[in-house]
């Protein structure tokens, strides 16, 4: 009996010690992160995604939309006053406040900034924010990749604002569907546990259900890669090759996504999760997908520049070409990614012949 009591007490002591270690790490992280709350949201960017998220989150917190200039802010303010919706946002925008970016000051210890600008503008916006806040809390919802410096959007922000805490939101999130209140699931990822919990709580809603992760770059890399598969699916659709071919391309795309994930040390569970497979499938099948639209236009004979101009949005799949070229040179098995990269680089002038050759070789 004495032995059993001592053993039980030892087990309790061990559990207590472990809990203290976890609690201590939590407290250290809380202390290092500074004392902050989320009392308002500022969405930087008034495109489809920015308006959809702003409208959704404004149900819980005061929300401002920062536009590129005063004219854009005034136009949206007039629409709000008229009780209308925007052409790309089916929900009312009456709860949103529109103003030119940085038109008013903000308390960085009580504000969550949401970066909802095209990926090519993220570095510029981050540089501007740095002049107003030393250590802001930022939610990055811009899917993309910096081709020149080979880094994700959260890494771009950290390069410009080293003391910023960046949370990534990614997953199958077509803006028009979110704006219409159609349910989906997405990932919130941040290496700071305290800020991750804080943002998840602040953004709770009945449209997007959130999973959490502490590896933001893992999810961002997959989000950028999936665009290449959607471009291929769009090319197949534009060439009227049928659903069978698109199914084959998506299957190969999922395999290659897993291969690249393994190469970068990204767990297979992430590759086949909502930010990997889920986002890939959605982007391939949705008529609102920018990458798919680009593929359709390329199949119709447009040049890459003409297709990008017609889409009127940043297409994140294009920025991955340089990375794919490097991986291909290292003998990573990614024939579909390499084919799309070659088409985008105009090194394979006939998309139809290229797709037929690829499918025959799989």
Could you tell me the CATH number of the domain that includes residue 299?
Answer: 1.10.1040.10
Domain presence at residue 25: no
**Domain boundary at 172, 192, 214, which?**
214
Identify whether residues 223 and 198 lie together within a single domain. no
Say if residue 200 is in the same domain as residue 279: no
Q: Are residues 245 and 172 in the same domain?
A: no
As a whole number of angstroms, the distance between CA 219 and CA 345 comes to 25
- The verdict on whether 94 is a catalytic residue reads no
The answer to whether residues 223 and 206 belong to one domain is no
Q: How many domains does the chain have?
A: 2
Residue pLDDT tens, the chain, 362 long = 333 434 444 444 345 444 444 444 444 444 344 558 999 999 999 888 999 999 999 989 999 999 887 777 777 777 766 555 554 444 556 567 887 787 778 899 999 999 999 888 999 999 999 999 999 999 999 988 888 888 999 999 999 999 999 999 999 999 999 999 999 999 999 999 999 999 999 999 999 999 999 999 999 999 999 999 999 999 999 999 999 999 999 999 999 999 999 999 999 999 999 999 999 999 999 999 989 999 999 999 888 888 888 887 666 667 787 789 889 999 999 999 999 988 888 755 678 888 888 888 87
Q: Answer yes or no: is 33 within a domain.
A: no
Looking at residue 275, what is its pLDDT? Answer: 96
- Tokens representing 63? 């929300």
The residue written with tokens 């004392």 in the block is 35
Are residues 288 and 346 part of one domain? yes
Residue 48 sits in the same domain as residue 183: yes
Residue 18 lies in a domain: no
| 86 bridge partner residues | 89
Q: What is the pLDDT of residues 274-292, one digit of tens each?
A: 999 999 999 999 999 989 9
Contacts of 40 (CB under 8 A, 6+ apart): 61, 62, 63, 64, 106, 110, 111, 112
Residue 68 in any domain: the answer is yes
Tell which of 192, 214, 236 closes a domain. 214
**CA within 13 Å, CB half, 124:** 10
229: nearest Cα among 97, 341, 314: 341
Domain that holds residue 44: 40-214
Co-location of 208 and 289 in the same domain? no
Co-location of 136 and 49 in the same domain: yes
Instruction: Check: CB of residue 261 under 8 Å from CB of residue 197.
Output: no
Separation CA 152–CA 320 (nearest Å): 10
C-alpha 87/C-alpha 80 separation (Å) is 12
Quick one: pLDDT at residue 27?
41
> In the numeric block, which tokens belong to residue 301?
């004979």
Output the pLDDT for position 349. 62
Q: Which of 174, 198, 214 is the last residue of a domain?
A: 214
Structural domain contains residue 269? yes
Residue 193: Cβ within 10 Å count: 15
Nearest to 224 by CA among 179, 257, 193, 266: 257
Residue 47 maps to a domain: yes
The dihedral through the CA atoms of 228, 232, 235, 240 has a sign that is: negative
- For position 91, which CATH number holds? 3.40.50.720
Q: Are residues 228 and 208 in the same domain?
A: no
My answer on whether 82 and 120 are in the same domain is yes
> How many other C-beta atoms are found inside a 10 Å radius of the C-beta of residue 226?
31
Q: Based on the domain organization, do 204 and 225 belong to the same domain? A: no
β-pair partners for 63: 41
Annotated catalytic residue, options 226, 293, 300, 322? 226
Residue 28 lies in a domain: no
Task: Please tell me whether residues 70 and 115 are part of one structural domain.
Answer: yes
For the sheet with 97-100, list strands across it.
97-100, 63-67, 40-44, 111-115, 137-140, 165-170, 184-189, 208-213
């Amino acid at each position: 009996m004495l032995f059993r009591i001592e053993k039980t007490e030892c087990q309790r002591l061990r559990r207590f010690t472990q809990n203290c270690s976890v609690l201590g790490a939590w407290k250290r992280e809380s202390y290092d992160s500074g004392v902050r709350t989320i009392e308002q949201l500022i969405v930087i960017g008034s495109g489809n995604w920015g308006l959809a998220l702003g409208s959704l989150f404004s149900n819980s917190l005061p929300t401002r939309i920062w536009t590129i200039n005063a004219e854009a802010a005034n136009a949206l303010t007039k629409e709000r006053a008229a009780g209308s919706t925007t052409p790309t946002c089916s929900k009312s925008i009456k709860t949103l406040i529109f103003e030119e970016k940085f038109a008013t000051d903000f308390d960085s210890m009580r504000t969550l900034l949401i970066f909802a600008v095209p990926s090519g503008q993220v570095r510029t916006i981050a540089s501007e924010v740095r002049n107003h806040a030393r250590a802001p809390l930022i939610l990055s919802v811009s899917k993309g990749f910096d081709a020149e410096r080979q880094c994700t959007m959260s890494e771009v922000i950290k390069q410009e604002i080293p003391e910023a805490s960046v949370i990534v939101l990614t997953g199958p999130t077509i803006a028009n569907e979110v704006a219409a209140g159609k349910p989906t699931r997405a990932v919130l990822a941040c290496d700071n546990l305290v800020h991750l919990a804080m943002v998840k709580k602040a953004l709770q809603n009945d449209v997007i259900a959130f999973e959490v992760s502490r590896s933001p770059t893992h999810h961002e890399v997959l989000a950028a890669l999936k665009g290449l598969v959607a471009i291929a699916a769009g090319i197949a659709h534009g060439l009227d090759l049928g659903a069978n071919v698109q199914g084959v391309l998506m299957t190969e795309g999922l395999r290659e996504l897993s291969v690249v994930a393994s190469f970068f040390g990204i767990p297979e569970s992430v590759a086949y999760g909502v930010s990997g497979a889920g986002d890939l499938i959605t982007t391939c099948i949705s008529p609102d997908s920018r990458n798919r639209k680009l593929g359709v236009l390329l199949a119709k004979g447009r040049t890459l520049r003409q297709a990008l101009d017609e889409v009127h949005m940043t297409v994140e799949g294009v920025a991955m070409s340089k990375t794919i070229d490097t991986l291909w040179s290292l003998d990573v098995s990614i024939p579909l990614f390499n084919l799309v990269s070659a088409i985008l680089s105009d090194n394979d002038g006939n998309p139809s012949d290229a797709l037929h050759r690829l499918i025959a070789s799989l």
